[in-house]
Structure 1
Amino acid sequence: MKTAILAAAFIVATGALASPGAHGPNGEHLEAKAVAASNALARLPDGSVSVPMLAQRRLAVRTLLAQETNASASVELPGRVVMDPNAGGRIQTLSGGKVQPGPGGLPVAGQKVRKGEVLAFVSFNASPIETANQRSQLAQIRSNRQLAEQRVQRLESLEGTVPRKDIDAARAELQSLAAQERAVGASLGSREALVSPINGVIASASVVAGQVVESKDILFEVVDPARVLVEATTADASLGTKVAQASLAGLPGVKLQFLGAARSLREGALPLTFRASSSSALPLAIGQPVTVVASINQQVKGIVLPAQAVTRSPSNEPVVWVKAGAERYVPQPVQVQPVDAQTIVVTKGLGANNRVVVQGASLIAQIR
């Protein structure tokens, strides 16, 4: 009788440690040799983790019963944030010269500006010989203009005795010389105003007062922070016809609208253009590298889970944590594909009807 009681107690204790629900994709049991449970967080010799019930509540561990289904296939593409040509602009000078502050001083990166606002001036710097030639030309034009004025006055005093056409010709010559004088005089010490092409924010500013710049130098970049584009690249030239929707990895609040694919390769890759939008301020900056998760018009069979359910093993292999007992979790290597920025699909390594950790998996993986 005593022997039967001890055998029954041993069976109950063993069953509490090993749950028959944890199995692999082919029905094999995931749990290894049963190990005595501990009252503390611990990594067991077989690689599994012991997490007492109280600790599970503190870590907010949540599990989900895995079910196999169909999901849209996705691909991850490298990309970067670029300027929208219709909502941004670069400010350059037409002729080189010396930078002078605008009415409100030189703008700095991040400062808001209005369309048509003068950001700075560039004063044209001519060589001494060019300046001397301009002054000489101005003096000659001024002298001719004075002579033309005297001739007009003389002819007007003789009006009625000289032909009317001579008076009109003299007046026209005077007007021409006066216009030349104003044009040449304005070129001496002239300066070019640099104005903002749009309402936006200064994305970059690379000038200081007194800096000498050339015509090809980019002095300011102005962008509308609410309107930016994301440019992704792919080696698959046919991918542009398969993209259904897209999102940014790690930025669930940003939505991407597919605008189209280029029809020519650039450095062996096909550019894909997306428009970024968000219900709040876009957390993106021009030139920022991003990962685009593009859903394509194909279906893949697997188990759909939140992206946070997947962690990395010490060998950098993707794993999910399967609940093998009331306080025991087993790491299971898997193969995954992204569905969107928040969801993945497990294609290999995980069987249906397993209790998979979908919240707190990263905390369980840190237990040593």
Structure 2
Amino acid sequence: MRMPFRAARAALFALALGAGAVSAHEGHDHGDAPKAAPATIAPRGTSSTDALELVAVARNGQITVFIDRAATNEPVTVAQVEAETPEGAAHAAPAPDGSYRLDAHWSEAPGAYDVLFTVTVDGATELFPVSLTVPEPPPAPPSGPAAAWHAGLAVAHDFRQHLREADPMPFLIGGAGFLLGIVATLAIRRRPLVPAVAVLLLAAALLAAPVAFAGEGHDHGAPQAMQMAAPGPQDLAQRMSDGAVFVPKPTQRVLSLRTLVTVQAALSRTTELPGRVVPDPNASGVVQSSVGGRLSPPESGLFPRLGTRVSKGDVLATVTPPVQAVDVSDMRQRQGELDQQIAIVERRVERYRKLAPGGAISQVQLEEAQAELKGLIDRRSALDGVRAQPEALTAPVSGIVAEANAVAGKMASPGAVVFQIVDPDRLWVEALSFDAPAAAADATARLADGRVLSLAYMGAGLADRSQAVPVQFAIRGTQADLRTGQFVTVLAETDARQTGLALPRTSVVRGGNGQSIVYEHTAPERFEPREVRVEPLDASRVLVVSGLTPGRRIVTQGAELLNQVR
């Protein structure tokens, strides 16, 4: 009879382990262990004036002070900071990251503390009263035997949870076969069946408990093995439930967030015009061949490459005119005639020289014969030069080679452009306007990479070009990496004026549903989104027509990064 009692004890022990699984019902949570506390920010206090704003953060027995200018959010790294603390006066020393730090062991104890900071910047002194509240630390996790007991219960709970999540049919079939095997063994050995049947019923109830009482979505609240210690205070940028963004001061300095205060003003309306970069006609030129011929490099043996800087008068290439067979025959015939005439005139001049001293020939006749001889000789020399001397192609202006079509041995037709010379420091923008802009109004242009060009109005055409009026502007200053033919968007002023707030284009970002959003700096570490309606003002600014009022601090740099905080 020992075996039935042993089996009964084992079944009772297994039933005790499974009691938690059998007694829990849907929606009930019997776990009493506390959940891990969410990450929070470090204790901090803020204060601000019209010129400055101050944030004090308590961490690890130190107070870190951040000072920024209220209007621009620019960090103040050169200042004198004194503090009146619960332990007396203290001096905040500057840190390498631009903040100021002072020892404050009193901040490690929970409680509410009032600290008065005195900040001197550029000879002006400001007072900043700050209230710091240090919360109670979270409870320590269990340790020792209690922690080991909770760990063991967690293992049992994980096993039961695995059984509930698994398919119950194979488990029940296997358990039923096991029970039938035990009954058959006892029957063969002629053992009493009453205790065995009781044990089998208990085991069956245990096996069926995870399936019978556990359903989808049940939480049986098993104790957790060891509660993780609550994480310490963290300063993480995060988006709040109301849509505002909390950004700690260290993160603001990493993102280089800058702001400006909005001011209402009457500004001219602008119109967007398509345009492209063109060379200044007074500082550019083309190199063309006046006669057809074969191209050859200059004396250096190399054609100038694209981007090579050349000076006015430099020989860039030569053109050797081809001589046809008929032309060669005509030239030889003409040369023979000239040689014959030169020989006749030379004999005449020689005879006149002998007769002139005796008075038989006048001096005038001698001079005329000498002039005729000189003309014939010059014509003969010119005819020889036509056959041998190529045409030199020289640079008409100083600049760089913007276009080159020179290849050794290539036949150049008369009037063909071989080189184009452009001065990169003197470029224009030609735009097409469908509405005539304001007379003599300057403009700005925006490139595809976001760069902005300042333009000076040069003039507008009277003849339409594709139902538009060409308008030309000169680019002010020197801009690197500009090329002729590059497309730009020109924003030119019109005569109409309107009232609004001017903001940089970098201040406006796109919201989740496509609306235009700007971020207002409402507190030292808080930024709130504002929906606005904007119109183009120039290449670098937009005009806020509605959604903002004057005197608001709006983010002008880093708004795109701020919009990605979640």
TM-score (norm 1): 0.77
Aligned match of 2:275: 79
CA distance in 2, matches of 1:314, 1:123: 68
CA distance in 2, matches of 1:310, 1:126: 69
CA distance in 1, matches of 2:406, 2:258: 54
- Alpha carbons of 1:315 and 1:198: their partners in 2 closer, same or farther (altered >3 Å)? farther
Aligned match of 2:393: 194
- Alpha carbons of 1:176 and 1:57: their partners in 2 closer, same or farther (altered >3 Å)? closer
Say whether 1:96 aligns with 2:300.
no
Aligned match of 2:306: 109
Q: Could you tell me whether the CA contact under 8 Å between 1:69 and 1:301 is conserved in 2?
A: yes
Shift of 1:66: 3.8
CA distance in 2, matches of 1:112, 1:312: 45
Shift of 1:181: 0.7
Which of the residues 351, 357, 361 maps onto 2:555? 357
Say whether 1:232 aligns with 2:431.
yes
Higher strand share: 1
Q: What letter corresponds to residue 347 of structure 1 in structure 2?
A: V
CA distance in 2, matches of 1:317, 1:145: 92
Unaligned 5+ residue runs, structure 1? 1-37
Say whether 1:179 aligns with 2:378.
yes
CA distance in 1, matches of 2:329, 2:564: 77
Q: Which piece of structure 1 moves more, 107-116 or 61-70?
A: 61-70
Which protein has the larger Cα radius of gyration, Structure 1 or Structure 2? Answer: 2
- Alpha carbons of 1:51 and 1:172: their partners in 2 closer, same or farther (altered >3 Å)? same
Q: What letter corresponds to residue 268 of structure 2 in structure 1?
A: S
Q: Could you tell me whether the CA contact under 8 Å between 1:234 and 1:271 is conserved in 2?
A: yes
CA distance in 2, matches of 1:367, 1:143: 98
Q: Could you tell me whether the CA contact under 8 Å between 1:336 and 1:348 is conserved in 2?
A: no
Q: What letter corresponds to residue 296 of structure 1 in structure 2?
A: T
Partner of 2:317, secondary structure, is strand
Aligned match of 1:52: 247
Q: Provide the aligned length of Structure 1 versus Structure 2.
A: 325
Unaligned 5+ residue runs, structure 2? 1-233
Shift of 1:96: 1.3
Aligned match of 2:443: 246
CA distance in 1, matches of 2:262, 2:321: 72
Q: Which piece of structure 1 moves more, 205-214 or 135-144?
A: 135-144
- Alpha carbons of 1:318 and 1:264: their partners in 2 closer, same or farther (altered >3 Å)? farther
Q: What letter corresponds to residue 244 of structure 1 in structure 2?
A: A
CA distance in 1, matches of 2:470, 2:491: 15
- Alpha carbons of 1:149 and 1:64: their partners in 2 closer, same or farther (altered >3 Å)? closer
Say whether 1:261 aligns with 2:460.
yes
Q: Could you tell me whether the CA contact under 8 Å between 2:276 and 2:430 is conserved in 1?
A: yes
Partner of 2:312, secondary structure, is coil
Write out aligned runs for 1:213-224 (5 A): 213-224=412-423
Partner of 1:148, secondary structure, is helix
Shift of 1:97: 0.8
Which of the residues 484, 492, 501 maps onto 1:303? 501
Q: Could you tell me whether the CA contact under 8 Å between 2:355 and 2:361 is conserved in 1?
A: no
CA distance in 2, matches of 1:43, 1:135: 94
Q: What letter corresponds to residue 289 of structure 2 in structure 1?
A: T
Shift of 1:234: 0.6
- Alpha carbons of 1:318 and 1:123: their partners in 2 closer, same or farther (altered >3 Å)? farther
CA distance in 2, matches of 1:353, 1:330: 16
Shift of 1:351: 4.4
- Alpha carbons of 1:44 and 1:127: their partners in 2 closer, same or farther (altered >3 Å)? farther
CA distance in 2, matches of 1:187, 1:305: 68
Aligned match of 2:167: none
Shift of 1:323: 5.3
Q: Could you tell me whether the CA contact under 8 Å between 1:41 and 1:49 is conserved in 2?
A: no
Per chain length, whose mean CA-contact separation is higher, i.e. which structure has more relative contact order (CA < 8 Å, sep 6+)?
1
Partner of 2:462, secondary structure, is coil
- Over residues 90-129 of structure 1, what are the superposed CA-to-partner deviations in whole Å (9 max), with x where a residue is unaligned? 1111111111111333212222222222222111112222
Higher helix share: 2
CA distance in 2, matches of 1:219, 1:314: 54
Q: What letter corresponds to residue 307 of structure 1 in structure 2?
A: R
Shift of 1:251: 3.5
Partner of 2:397, secondary structure, is coil
Q: Could you tell me whether the CA contact under 8 Å between 1:245 and 1:296 is conserved in 2?
A: no
Calculate the aligned-residue CA RMSD, in Å.
2.9
- Alpha carbons of 1:328 and 1:82: their partners in 2 closer, same or farther (altered >3 Å)? closer
Write out aligned runs for 1:13-32 (5 A): none
- Alpha carbons of 1:331 and 1:150: their partners in 2 closer, same or farther (altered >3 Å)? same
Say whether 1:138 aligns with 2:361.
no
Partner of 1:180, secondary structure, is helix
Partner of 2:441, secondary structure, is strand
Q: Could you tell me whether the CA contact under 8 Å between 1:240 and 1:260 is conserved in 2?
A: no
Aligned match of 1:122: 319
Which of the residues 513, 516, 539 maps onto 1:341? 539
CA distance in 1, matches of 2:512, 2:384: 76
Q: Could you tell me whether the CA contact under 8 Å between 1:118 and 1:194 is conserved in 2?
A: yes
Identity %: 32
Q: Which piece of structure 1 moves more, 267-276 or 66-75?
A: 66-75
- Alpha carbons of 1:57 and 1:113: their partners in 2 closer, same or farther (altered >3 Å)? closer
Q: Could you tell me whether the CA contact under 8 Å between 1:240 and 1:272 is conserved in 2?
A: no
Q: What letter corresponds to residue 224 of structure 1 in structure 2?
A: D
4+ residue stretches of structure 1 with deviation over 6 A?
Answer: 43-46
- Alpha carbons of 1:181 and 1:313: their partners in 2 closer, same or farther (altered >3 Å)? farther
- Over residues 206-257 of structure 1, what are the superposed CA-to-partner deviations in whole Å (9 max), with x where a residue is unaligned? 21222211112111111222222221221013x242x5322222444x4322
TM-score (norm 2): 0.52
